[in-house]
Amino acid sequence: MNEEISYQDAIREIEEIIKKIENGELDVDQLTSQVKRVSSLLDICRKKLKTAEEEIKKIIKGLKEDVKDNE
């Protein structure tokens, strides 16, 4: 799944689904589809976090190199 959704929106949707599960608001068919949706949203969040981590590491590496060059 290659869905464009922000990290915050994905987290918000996961939280909403969890509340419905905890409150017993879903029947068995809905439960199955909603658990699949949560799994998909978690994958999206993991990828976004991984991308952010890699970008931050590159920025920090660049800053360290700039400091070395200025010494």
pLDDT reported for residue 69: 77
Which tens digit of pLDDT belongs to each residue from 22-51?
A: 999 999 999 999 999 999 999 999 999 999
Q: Are 41 and 16 in contact (CB under 8 A)?
A: no
pTM for the whole structure: 0.81
What is the Cα–Cα distance from 55 to 45, expressed in whole angstroms? 15
Which tens digit of pLDDT belongs to each residue from 8-27?
A: 999 999 999 999 999 999 99
What's the number of CA atoms in the CB half-sphere (13 Å) around residue 23? 7
